[in-house]
Amino acid sequence: MTRTPFQSALEAAYAARKLTRLHVHIGYLLHGWRSRCPTHRKLAQAAKCSIRTVQRALSRLHELGLLSWTRRVLACVGFRAQIANAYHLLSHEPLSYLTLRTQSSVSLSPSVSAEFRQRQEARIMAAWQARRATQSVPISIF
């Protein structure tokens, strides 16, 4: 079985004692992840470790030049929410991975992508309103 340049770089960094075995495991999980946009929580569940450990592993992979990411934000009316980062495995794929993928293989029709965006916005707004409803707000009487 042939290894990709990313896998070879992970093993070389581990051999040079720059990565722990768990960092390599998280790197392999990210390499095999289908969407390249997993949340820290999903990576932590897959690796059976804490979210903070995943964050440290991603930071370490970034420091070694093996990984970069793009922060993704969904903007609604008067509200912005961060969604899962888009990860780019360096020496494995070009940094323009997301634009290439959306242009070539995904190609959703405008109505489907608009419907998806509306559902996503509605879900975020509902979560935001539910969180806001549970917070106690002091009432002042003048």
Q: What is the DSSP string of 18-30?
A: SS-HHHHHHHHHH
What integer pLDDT is reported at residue 23 of this predicted model?
A: 94
Return the percentage of the chain with pLDDT > 70, whole number.
68
CA distance 5 to 46: 23
CA distance 34 to 99: 16
Q: Say whether pLDDT at 75 is over 80.
A: no
What integer pLDDT is reported at residue 141 of this predicted model?
A: 47
Where is average pLDDT lowest: 13-22, 49-58, 63-72, 129-138? 129-138
pLDDT (average), residues 90-101: 42
Report how far apart the first and last C-alpha atoms of the chain are (Å, whole number). Answer: 75
| CATH numbers and ranges of domains, the chain | 5-94 (1.10.10.10)
What integer pLDDT is reported at residue 131 of this predicted model?
A: 64
pLDDT digits (tens, 9 = 90+) for 2-53: 788 888 888 888 999 999 999 999 999 998 888 778 999 999 999 999 999 9
Q: What is the largest CA-CA distance in the chain?
A: 75
What integer pLDDT is reported at residue 92 of this predicted model?
A: 46
18 exposed, middle or buried (CB, 10 Å; 0-12, 13-18, 19+)? middle
Point out which residues pair with 68 in neighbouring strands. Answer: 88
pLDDT (average), residues 90-114: 44
What integer pLDDT is reported at residue 60 of this predicted model?
A: 93
